Structure 1
Amino acid sequence: MADGDWQTAAPNTMGFKSDPATSFDELAKTGKLAGVHGVVALRGGRIVFERYMDGNDMRWGQSLGNVAFGPETLHDVRSVTKSIVGLLYGIALAGGKVPGLDEPVVAQFPEYIDLAGDPQRKRLTLRHALTMTLGTEWNENIPYTDPANSEIAMEQAPDRYRFILDRPILTEPGKRWTYSGGALALLGRIIERGTGQSLPEFARGALFDPLGINAMDWIRGQDGEASAASGLRLAPRSLARIGQMILQHGQWEGRPIVSKSWLDQSFQPAALVDIGWPGMRYGYLWYLGEEAITDRAGTYGERFVAAFGNGGQRLFVFPGLDFVLAITTGNYDSPDQWRAPAAILYNVFLPSLTGT
Structure 2
Amino acid sequence: MVDRTVTDRTAAEQAGFDPGLERKLCAGIEAGLLRDVHCVLVSRGGRLVLEHYREAPDESWGASLGTVAFDTETLHDLRSVTKSVTSLLYGIALDRGLVPPPEASLLAQFLEYPDLAAEPARAKLTIGHALTMTLGLEWDEYRSYADPLNSEIAMENAPDRYRFALEQPIVAEPGTRWVYSGGATALVGAIIERGTGRRIEDFAREALFEPLGIKTFEWLRGSDGVSSPASGLRLTAPDLLRIGRLVLEGGLSEGRQVVSPQWIASTRAPLVSTDDGLGYGYFWFHGEAPALGAARPWLAGFGNGGQRLWLLPDLDIACVIFSGNYNAPDAWVSPTRIWREIVLANLVAA
Are residue 289 (structure 1) and residue 287 (structure 2) matched?
yes
- On the 8 A contact 2:193/2:199 being kept in 1, the answer is yes
* 1:334 aligned partner, one-letter code: A
Once the two structures are TM-superposed, the CA of residue 292 in structure 1 deviates from its matched residue by 2.2
Secondary structure (helix, strand or coil) at the match of 1:210 reads helix
Verify: 1:138 aligned to 2:139, yes or no: yes
Give a deviation string over 1:107-163, Cα, whole Å, max 9, x none: 111111211222221100001000000000111011111111100000000111111
Q: Does 52-61 or 262-271 show the bigger shift?
A: 262-271
Is it true that 1:33 corresponds to 2:27 in the alignment?
no
Equivalent position of 1:64 in the other structure: 65
Aligned to 2:250: 249
RMSD of Structure 2 on Structure 1 (CA): 1.5
Q: 1:319 aligns with which of 290, 313, 321?
A: 313
* Contact kept in structure 2, 1:14 and 1:43, CA below 8 Å: no
Shift of 1:46: 1.9
Task: Give, as a single letter, the amino acid of the residue that structure 2 aligns with 1:208.
Answer: F
Stretches of structure 2 lacking an aligned partner (at least 5 in a row): 1-6
In the alignment, is the contact (CA less than 8 A) between 1:54 and 1:68 conserved in 2? yes
Separation of aligned partners in 2, 1:90 and 1:160:
23
SS of 2:326's equivalent in the other structure is coil
1:329 aligns with 2:323: yes
| C-alpha contact (below 8 Å) 1:18/1:355 kept by paired residues | no
Could you tell me how far apart the structure 2 residues matched to 1:337 and 1:165 are?
30
Distance in 1 (alpha carbons) for counterparts of 2:182 and 2:166: 12
Q: Which residue of 1 aligns with 2:232?
A: 231
Q: Describe the superposition over 1:154-173 as per-residue Cα deviations: whole angstroms up to 9, x where unpaired.
A: 00001111111111111100
The equivalent of 1:45 in structure 2 is 46
Q: Which amino acid aligns with 2:99?
A: V
Which whole-Å deviations, capped at 9, do the CAs of 1:265-321 have from their partners, x for residues lacking one?
1211212x3x1223x10011101110123x6xxx31121111100000000111121
**Equivalent residue, structure 2, for 1:179:** 180
- What residue is the counterpart of 1:276 in the other structure? 275
Report if the CA contact (8 A) 1:82-1:230 is conserved: yes
TM-score, normalised with respect to structure 2: 0.95
Cα shift readout 1:159-190 (whole Å, capped 9, x = no counterpart): 11111111111110000000000001110011
- Measured in 2, the distance between the counterparts of 1:87 and 1:354 equals 28
Post-superposition shift, 1:102?
Answer: 1.1
Q: After the TM superposition, which segments of 4 or more aligned residues of structure 1 sit over 4 Å from their partners?
A: none
- Structure 1, gaps ≥5 residues long: 1-6
Percent identity (aligned)? 50
Secondary structure, aligned partner of 1:308? strand
- Aligned equivalents of 2:172, 2:333: Cα separation in 1: 33
Q: Measure the CA separation in 2 of the matches of 1:100 and 1:321.
A: 31
Q: Distance in 1 between matches of 2:279 and 2:130?
A: 15
